[in-house]
Amino acid sequence: MEYVLRTEGLTKSYRGNRVLNGVTMNIRRGDIYGFVGENGSGKTTVIRLITGLIYADSGEFTLFDTKSSDPAILAARARVGAIVEAPSIYLNMSAKENLLMQSGILGLHGNEERCYLTLATVGLGDLWGSKKHAGDFSLGMRQRLGIAMALLGNPEFIILDEPMNGLDPAGIVEIRELILHLNRNMGITFLISSHILTELALVATRYGIISHGRLLQEISAEELERVCHHTTDIKTTDRDALIALLSSDFDHTKMFLIENGVHIESDIDLNDVLGRVIAAGIPITDVNTRRSSIEDYYLSMIGGGRRA
Amino acid sequence: MRDLYVTDLKRILKDKLFMVTCILAGVFALITPLLNKVLFEALDMGELLGGMINAKSMLFTSLLPGDNLGLIMPILIAIVVCKDFSQGTVRNKIISGKSRAAIFLSHLLSAATVICTLMLLHALLTLGVSLCFFSYQTTTFTLSDFGYLMVSLVFEMLVYFAIATIVTFIATLAKNMGICILLYLAVTLGLSIIGAVFQVAGAFLDPSAAGYGIVEFLNALNIFTSSLIGAGTTYTAKQVLYILVSPLAITVGGTLLGIRLFAHKNLK
């Protein structure tokens, strides 16, 4: 298995307040790694550590097989593109000038064609000749310009911290399609932190769930699909009879009492169950079935705490 | 490193504050000699014009770090350097795998390039305008005077390189424009005031008095008064040593310390 990033026991404190507590995570080449956690859980701190903006108190990470303590980490970092918190753009410059500045930093001075193509890739090709300053752009345009700057160096690994922030619905769709395009067609690995879990679920192939500075779990999208089961609420005027009937099918850990009925936390054959209830003469007043989502799973992982 | 330097230079040249600085440089160069002429004539002190007040004195006054452009420009350039941190664009460099040392040096060299070039152009413009009103000096301008002028300008540029180091050091480590301006003003005005006090003390102290040598020594080392540069017609070896030691110590020490501190700094 080829890993783009591996972290081992990363810890970080600010003024005595521990914000990361031994984070160990693994991102494989080709992953779109959804990094999920509540506000202040440590997502951005992990990203800052990887991108070299801050230093860990202890622990280390390996980026493209280069340990963070190795001076060659700078060369490894040159293979990464990132947006950390907000796009780092020159507000007093146009989109074209921003990309030319970034091309200068990357040692690609004057490569206007590449700059134009990158700008076009994020849907801002129309701005190439515009003198409008980035400071006058909408949040969505700034976000896309930031992604263009991150893409300019042809990175193999892109880190996006809350990339959907400030985007309108159309912008969210565009960025999502761009991420999928870059991942599928160019093989770029992504680490994406986001609060919008339902949106993340549309692109992520693996997830890392972090809470209070600890990585609680890494799970693939397929595994998550398996554990996200259906739940069913069946309401009746004779709850005791309903419980007596269903208790032979479901153990008590899967079945909960609710007002005028039962809540079943398991995939069931609804037709079969309802057929037997009706055959037993138990009156049904309401049936409600729902599939648990990544949000439910996340909330169950962090102990029903705050919604991400 | 070259890539970063070119990028940082472009960033400074693109900033509105650079345009403001250029305008101020032109305005100060035009107004200062004119005001001197008008004021001294209005105060019936016209006999000083061409004597104490001449193009040479105008030139070296225009280069004083505690006066006019010498005070304002480093602050404006410090703000531009600081913007790389406050706008977060420094992240692009770090994420691209540039070393902290290269980033610091690039900030320093681009700030020094702009500060030294603008101060030099400002001084030469001041000289040109002054020559419209006054003679260069009371005596005939010789080849030796030209050599002295050139050497003096080189010394002044070393002083401004040291000031660029202070500017970069403060801007990089403060990362906040307000704190950056306050710190630079505190350093500049503090040392300018100390220099002025020493100059007055030197004028009143008997040269044979015990503390005279110390006052003279400390004043000579103070780059914010740089009283030795341009004050005479030749330089002694002792003066050259005094003139060089402070700017070089500040430049080398500030750069090494700045790189070391920046290398361990956590960034937003």
For the residues of B221-261, what is the DSSP string, one character each?
Answer: H-TTT-TTTTSSSS--HHHHHHHHHHHHHHHHHHHHHHHHH
Which tens digit of pLDDT belongs to each residue from A218-238? 888 888 777 777 778 888 888
Q: Nearest residue of A to residue B5 by CA position? A: A105
A with B: how many residue pairs have Cβ under 8 Å apart?
Answer: 81
Domain annotation covers residue B112: yes
Domain annotation covers residue B213: yes
Q: Check CB contact under 8 Å for B3 and A105.
A: yes
Q: Is the pLDDT of residue B157 over 80?
A: yes
Q: Among B11, B15, B266, whose Cβ lies nearest the Cβ of A55? A: B266
> Which residue carries 């937003």 as its tokens?
B268
Per the DSSP assignment, residues forming a β-bridge with A220 are: A206
B20 reaches A (C-beta below 8 A):
no
Over residues B171-178, mean pLDDT? 83
Q: Among B11, B91, B97, whose Cβ lies nearest the Cβ of A53? A: B91
**What percent of chain A has pLDDT above 90?**
22
- What is the per-residue pLDDT for B48? 63
Which tens digit of pLDDT belongs to each residue from A22-39? 889 999 999 999 998 888
B207 reaches A (C-beta below 8 A):
no
Q: Is the pLDDT of residue A206 over 50?
A: yes
- What is the per-residue pLDDT for A306? 38
Which tens digit of pLDDT belongs to each residue from A261-305? 888 877 777 788 888 888 888 888 988 887 767 777 777 777 654
Domain annotation covers residue B90: yes
- Of residues A18, A38, A163, A149, the one with CA closest to residue A94: A149
B7 reaches A (C-beta below 8 A):
yes
Lowest mean pLDDT among A186-200, A286-300, B66-80, B91-105: A286-300
Residue A255: φ, ψ to 5° = -125, 130
- Widest CA span in chain B: 64
Distance CA B9, CA B93 (A): 14
Q: Check CB contact under 8 Å for B11 and A89.
A: no
Residue B50 confidence class, pLDDT cut points 50, 70, 90? low
**Residues of A engaging B, defined by a Cβ cutoff of 8 Å:** 48, 51-55, 74-78, 80-82, 84-86, 88-93, 97, 101-102, 104-107, 109, 149-150, 153
- In chain A the domains, ranked by start, together with CATH numbers, are 3-218 (3.40.50.300), 229-291 (3.30.70)
Q: Is the pLDDT of residue A308 over 60?
A: no
Q: Check CB contact under 8 Å for B93 and A86.
A: no
Residue B165 confidence class, pLDDT cut points 50, 70, 90? very high
Domain count, chain B: 1
Over residues A61-79, mean pLDDT? 90
3-state secondary structure of A210: strand
Buried b (16+ CB within 10 A) or exposed e, B63-73: bbbbebbbbeb
Q: Is the pLDDT of residue A253 over 70?
A: no
B19 reaches A (C-beta below 8 A):
no
> Which residue carries 């992953």 as its tokens?
A31
ipTM score: 0.76
Q: Is the pLDDT of residue B190 over 90?
A: no
Domain annotation covers residue B166: yes
Q: Check CB contact under 8 Å for B266 and A88.
A: no
Q: Is the pLDDT of residue A105 over 60?
A: yes
Q: How many CB atoms lie within 10 A of CB B47?
A: 10
Q: Nearest residue of B to residue A89 by CA position? A: B89
Q: Of the spans A41-45, A106-110, A199-203, B225-229, which averages the highest pLDDT?
A: A41-45
- What is the per-residue pLDDT for A53? 92
Q: Is the pLDDT of residue B106 over 60?
A: yes
Which residues in chain A have Cβ-Cβ distances shorter than 8 Å to B89? 88-90
The answer to whether B246 touches B223, Cβ cutoff 8 Å, is yes
CA torsion A15-A17-A20-A21 (nearest 10°) is 120
- Of residues A210, A187, A150, A224, the one with CA closest to residue A31: A187
- What is the per-residue pLDDT for B122? 92
Q: Among B11, B98, B266, whose Cβ lies nearest the Cβ of A101? A: B11
Domain annotation covers residue B268: no
Element (H, E) at A234: strand A230-236
Over residues A51-71, mean pLDDT? 91
**For residue B244, what are the domain limits?**
2-263
B94 reaches A (C-beta below 8 A):
yes
3-state secondary structure of B137: coil
3-state secondary structure of B114: helix
Domain annotation covers residue B37: yes
Domain annotation covers residue B130: yes
- Of residues B117, B161, B124, B118, the one with CA closest to residue B23: B118
Q: Is the pLDDT of residue A154 over 90?
A: no
